[in-house]
């Protein structure tokens, strides 16, 4: 071996060791590909102070109804009267299988306002995940409970909450043939239910604005149909105007400054758009079929609607000016009542096929169609503001329509909390 070769060999050995990652750089990988999939077991003891038990109960009911949480039976709680300033006994809570724990306190301030503090704890990690305080007028205690529910839901699922919302719907009563239909409103958990109309005329298809507490709906009187705008907070109502024909299916644009609606005349129905500031109208469709149920995309640039221009009701998407119409539904069956998700990623619809009805969703291009429900009659989906839960109405053969909830995976299907007969639900945005 020459000297040069020896030097090169030694250098190579030197550089080889110098190329090592360095001090303690060994990173050992451990893969976890299985888990214990279940709704999150959560313990929600009564909050300290007046209304504390009520608030805890509302939170518990909200989270349980979402299907993503499993509240622990209070009889199993190892600690009672938790002080929010003291760390809970995590080991004791783990023994009852509580993965997370919520505790809180309620106090009345000097000015009479309610102050509610809560903390969310991870018992496994032994640490606090959230700590927030709310103040409100005393009569708004339920809204505080809903906001706490939203905060917990968001922190643990990564999705926006939907509990601090309301639902307008058509409350139905009376025998068949003489049904009384009233515009009604309730909190999403069924509380604070009240009527907005007196039932002396038929009301249909209410829809919330995405930005405000204003709804639009169709009222049918002996003199004809009208579209109304109704501000729930002020009680102010106004009509959209007079139209040559029957008007129905109004929907707000995302920023609330326009309404798309259908006008029927001589058996033909087309979509129109009205600018609420100027009252200027634009005709969007002009084909001889029935075009109805327009719904804006969240950015306001497109409208999905159903039309039988091809021979049977199918879903179409067009630009908000009426151009670029293209069909998106591809499966067999009849597609109606499309509603664009607030997240923009799905369109919900009613589908009728083989004598049964379904609620389903598809992507805005028509792909990834999923059937979420099946029954004798499921119809009229409405999105919760988080774009992950739908409310619709279901009617059994010979029965009365009832409100139901289903999540976007189809796994969590439950009756809505409203006990009476109802149809045509419309979910509000978050209340602030």
Partner 1 sequence: MAMDRRQLAPALLVSVMVHAGLLGLALFAWPHTSKPLPFGSAVPVTIVSDAPMTDVAPAVEGPELDPLTEEPIPDAPAEVPLPPAPDPIPAETKTPSKPADKAKPTPTPSPKSNKRSELDFDDLEKRLKKTGGGKPKPGGGDKGPARPASAPTPRPDGAGKGLNASSIAGLQAELQRRWNPNCLVEGGRSVKVTIQIVVAPSGFLIGEPKVVRKSGGSDDLTNAGATRAISAVKGALPFRDLPDGYIGEKLNINFDAQTACSL
Positive or negative: CA dihedral 237, 241, 247, 248: negative
Separation between Cα atoms, residue 339 and residue 297, nearest integer Å: 9
Q: Does 365 bind partner 1 (CB under 8 A)?
A: no
Q: Does 14 bind partner 1 (CB under 8 A)?
A: yes
Site for partner 1 in 413-432 (CB under 8 A): 431-432
157 vs 353, beta carbon nearer partner 1: 157
31 vs 198, beta carbon nearer partner 1: 31
- DSSP result, 175-227: -TTS-EEEEEEEETTS-S-EESS-SSSEEEEEEE-SSSSEEEEEEEETTEEEE
Q: What is the CA radius of gyration of the chain?
A: 28
Site for partner 1 in 87-116 (CB under 8 A): 87-89, 91-92, 94-95, 99, 113
Q: Quick check: 115 and 133 in contact, CB under 8 A? A: yes
Among 51, 59, 101, 134, contact with partner 1 (rule: CB under 8 A):
134
How many residues at the interface with partner 1, by CB under 8 A? 85
Among 47, 52, 60, 147, contact with partner 1 (rule: CB under 8 A):
147
Among 73, 75, 86, 355, contact with partner 1 (rule: CB under 8 A):
86
Q: Does 192 bind partner 1 (CB under 8 A)?
A: no
Shortest distance in whole angstroms from residue 255 CB to partner 1: 20
Separation between Cα atoms, residue 290 and residue 285, nearest integer Å: 10
Shortest distance in whole angstroms from residue 359 CB to partner 1: 15
Element spanning 94, H or E? helix 90-95
Q: Does 75 bind partner 1 (CB under 8 A)?
A: no
17 vs 194, beta carbon nearer partner 1: 17
Among 79, 257, 287, 308, contact with partner 1 (rule: CB under 8 A):
79
Provide the mask over 149-168, with x wherever binding to partner 1 is found by CB under 8 A and - wherever it is not: --x--xxxxxx---------
Q: Quick check: 411 and 192 in contact, CB under 8 A? A: no
Shortest distance in whole angstroms from residue 339 CB to partner 1: 17
Separation between Cα atoms, residue 250 and residue 216, nearest integer Å: 6
- Candidates 120-128, 220-228, 236-244, 277-285; binding stretch for partner 1 (CB under 8 A): 120-128
- Candidates 10-18, 267-275, 294-302, 320-328; binding stretch for partner 1 (CB under 8 A): 10-18
Describe the crossing of helices 52-66 and 141-157 by its angle, rounded to 10 degrees: 40
Q: Quick check: 394 and 169 in contact, CB under 8 A? A: no
- Candidates 46-54, 118-126, 240-248, 259-267; binding stretch for partner 1 (CB under 8 A): 118-126
Sheet holding 314-319, edge to edge: 291-296, 302-307, 314-319, 326-327
Q: Does 369 bind partner 1 (CB under 8 A)?
A: no
Separation between Cα atoms, residue 298 and residue 338, nearest integer Å: 14
Among 17, 266, 278, 323, contact with partner 1 (rule: CB under 8 A):
17
Among 53, 54, 64, 68, contact with partner 1 (rule: CB under 8 A):
68
Q: 246: which residues sit within 8 A by CB, 6+ positions away? A: 224, 225, 263, 264, 265
**Planar angle of CA 394, 358, 69, nearest 5 degrees:** 70
Q: Does 32 bind partner 1 (CB under 8 A)?
A: yes
Residue 97 gets the label, from left (phi > 0), alpha (psi -120 to 50) or beta, of left
389: nearest Cα among 5, 1, 63, 102: 63
Among 36, 234, 266, 278, contact with partner 1 (rule: CB under 8 A):
36
Among 61, 102, 144, 196, contact with partner 1 (rule: CB under 8 A):
144
99 vs 306, beta carbon nearer partner 1: 99
Among 97, 131, 195, 288, contact with partner 1 (rule: CB under 8 A):
131
3-state secondary structure of 102: strand
Q: Does 124 bind partner 1 (CB under 8 A)?
A: yes
Shortest distance in whole angstroms from residue 141 CB to partner 1: 10
Provide the mask over 37-66, with x wherever binding to partner 1 is found by CB under 8 A and - wherever it is not: xxxx--------------------------
């Amino acid at each position: 071996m020459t000297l040069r070769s020896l030097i090169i060999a030694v250098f190579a050995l030197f550089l080889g060791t110098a190329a090592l990652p360095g001090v303690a750089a060994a990173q050992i990988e451990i893969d976890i590909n299985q888990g214990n999939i279940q709704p999150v077991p959560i313990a929600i003891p009564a909050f300290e102070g007046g209304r504390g038990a009520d608030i805890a109960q509302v939170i518990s009911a909200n989270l349980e109804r979402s299907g993503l949480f499993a509240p622990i039976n209070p009889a199993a709680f190892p600690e009672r009267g938790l002080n929010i300033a003291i760390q809970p006994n995590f080991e004791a809570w783990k023994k009852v299988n509580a993965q997370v724990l919520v505790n809180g306190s309620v106090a009345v301030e000097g000015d009479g306002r309610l102050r509610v503090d809560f903390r969310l704890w991870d018992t496994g990690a032994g640490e606090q995940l959230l700590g927030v305080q709310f103040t409100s007028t005393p009569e708004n205690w339920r809204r505080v409970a809903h906001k706490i529910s939203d905060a917990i839901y968001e922190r643990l699922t990564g999705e926006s909450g939907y509990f601090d919302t309301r639902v307008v719907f058509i409350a139905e009563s009376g025998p068949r043939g003489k049904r009384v239909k009233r515009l009604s409103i309730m909190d999403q958990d069924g509380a604070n239910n009240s009527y907005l109309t007196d039932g002396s005329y038929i009301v249909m298809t209410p829809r919330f604005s995405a930005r405000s507490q204003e709804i639009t709906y169709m009222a049918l009187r002996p003199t004809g149909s009208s579209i109304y705008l109704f501000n729930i907070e002020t009680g102010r109502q106004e009509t959209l105007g007079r139209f040559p024909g029957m008007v129905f299916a109004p929907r707000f644009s995302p920023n609330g400054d326009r309404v798309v609606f259908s006008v029927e005349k001589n058996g033909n129905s087309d979509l129109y758009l009205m600018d609420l500031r100027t009252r200027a109208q634009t005709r969007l469709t002009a084909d001889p079929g029935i075009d109805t149920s327009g719904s804006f995309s969240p950015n306001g640039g497109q409208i999905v609607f159903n039309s039988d221009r091809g021979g049977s009701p199918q879903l179409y998407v067009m630009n908000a000016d009426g151009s670029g119409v293209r069909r998106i539904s591809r499966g067999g069956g009849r597609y109606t009542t499309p509603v664009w998700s607030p997240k923009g990623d799905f369109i919900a619809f009613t589908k009728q096929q083989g004598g049964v009805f379904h609620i389903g969703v598809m992507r805005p291009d028509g792909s990834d169609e999923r059937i979420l429900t099946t029954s004798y009659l499921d119809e009229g989906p409405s999105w919760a503001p988080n774009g992950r839960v739908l409310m619709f109405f279901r009617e059994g053969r010979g029965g009365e329509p009832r409100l139901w909830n289903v999540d976007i995976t189809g796994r969590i299907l439950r009756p809505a909390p409203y006990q009476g007969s109802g149809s045509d639900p419309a979910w509000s945005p978050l209340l602030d």
